[in-house]
């Protein structure tokens, strides 16, 4: 006779919480390193190594609960890659981590409006194989965000969530597609005036 777990469904396991806490601590070290490098300090070697391995277009990644006690809801801010269609854009995302993470992938969605074939205009949902069928427990939240950043300038129009964006992309007119991306980036993701 199999025994049933008394843990409520949706509650994270100790393994999941340890993994997320480790990721959070790594992100805190990176934030500390970035603060120190903008000041006079040089930071420690571990923080420098963590910062060097993270995509420079990830501007922020942390649990919504800044105390770090609720680790299944995260928020992130990314920058559109230089030289791409979304250059200069600042995009906010929410990340929902399943209780079975890292076995199951997190779900990510853009809060900032984004005109892209693989991003739903209405909900911000992202269609990316790394966040579904190609997920591996070797990935972490930061590496998944790096894949999202790469997707920005490498859309997959064969699995669109935004059919209009996919149609323009498929027409073979890169200037029209990039112009639309730039226009919506300036409208929705340009951030506060400097």
Indicate which residues carry an active-site annotation: 127
Pseudo-torsion of CA 40, 44, 46, 48, nearest 10°? Answer: 20
Dihedrals φ, ψ of 89, to 5°? -80, 145
């Amino acid at each position: 006779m199999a025994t049933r777990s008394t843990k409520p469904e949706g509650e994270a396991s100790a393994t999941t919480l340890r993994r997320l806490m480790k990721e959070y601590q790594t992100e805190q070290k990176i934030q500390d390193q970035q603060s120190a490098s903008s000041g006079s300090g040089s930071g420690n070697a571990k923080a420098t190594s963590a910062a060097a391995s993270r995509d420079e277009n990830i501007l922020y990644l942390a649990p919504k609960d800044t105390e770090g006690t609720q680790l299944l809801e995260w928020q992130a801010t990314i920058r559109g890659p230089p030289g791409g269609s979304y250059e200069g854009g600042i995009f906010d995302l929410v990340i929902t981590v399943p209780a079975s993470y890292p076995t199951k992938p997190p779900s990510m969605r853009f809060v900032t409006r984004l005109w892209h074939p693989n991003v739903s205009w209405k909900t911000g949902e992202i269609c990316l194989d790394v966040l579904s069928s190609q997920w591996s427990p070797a990935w972490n939240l930061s590496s998944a965000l790096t894949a999202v950043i790469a997707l920005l300038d490498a859309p997959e129009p064969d699995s669109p969530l935004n059919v209009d964006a996919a149609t323009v992309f498929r027409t073979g007119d890169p200037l029209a597609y990039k112009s639309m991306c730039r226009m919506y980036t300036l409208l929705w993701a340009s951030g506060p005036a400097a």
